[in-house]
Amino acid sequence: MKIGVAQTRPVTGDIDSNIKNHISLIELAVSNGADIIVFPELSLTGYEPSLAKELAADTTDNRFEIFQQLSDTKQITIGVGVPTKSPNGIHITMVLFQPNRLRQTNSKMYLHADEEPFFISGNNLQGLIINNTPVALAICYEISIPEHSESAAKSGAQVYIASVAKTAGGVEKATKTLSDIARQYSMTVFMSNCVGMCEDGLCAGKSAVWNNKGELAAQLDDTGEGIIIFETETQDVMLRTV
- What mean pLDDT do residues 23-29 have? 98
What pLDDT score does 116 carry? 98
The secondary structure of 72-117 as a DSSP string is: HHHT-EEEEEEEEEETTEEEEEEEEE-TTS--EEEE--S--GGGTT
Bridge-based pairing of strands 226-231 and 2-7 is: antiparallel
Cα 128–chain centre separation: 14
Give the pTM: 0.98
Using CA atoms in the order 236, 238, 239, 242, what is the torsion angle rounded to 10 degrees? -170
State how many domains the chain has: 1
What pLDDT score does 39 carry? 99
168 and 20 in contact (C-beta within 8 Å)?
no
Q: Residue 63 CB: number of other CB atoms within 10 A?
A: 12
What pLDDT score does 225 carry? 98
Model confidence at 241, pLDDT cuts 50, 70, 90, reads: very high
What pLDDT score does 180 carry? 98
Domain of 89 in residue numbering reads as 2-241
9 and 196 in contact (C-beta within 8 Å)?
yes
What pLDDT score does 157 carry? 98
Q: Pick the closest to residue 114 from 28, 223, 31, 201 (CA basis).
A: 201
> In what side-by-side order are the strands of the sheet with 104-107?
104-107, 89-97, 77-86, 36-38, 2-7, 226-231, 237-241
- What mean pLDDT do residues 40-49 have? 98
Q: What is the pLDDT of residues 139-182, one digit of tens each?
A: 999 999 999 999 999 999 999 999 999 999 999 999 999 999 99
- Percent of the chain past pLDDT 70, that is, above it, reads 100
What pLDDT score does 196 carry? 97
Going through the chain in order, the beta strands assigned E by DSSP cover 2-7, 36-38, 77-86, 89-97, 104-107, 129-130, 133-139, 159-163, 188-192, 195-198, 201-204, 208-210, 216-219, 226-231, 237-241
* Adjacent-strand bridge partners of 238: 229
**CATH number, residue 208:** 3.60.110.10
Mean of all residue pLDDT scores within the chain: 97
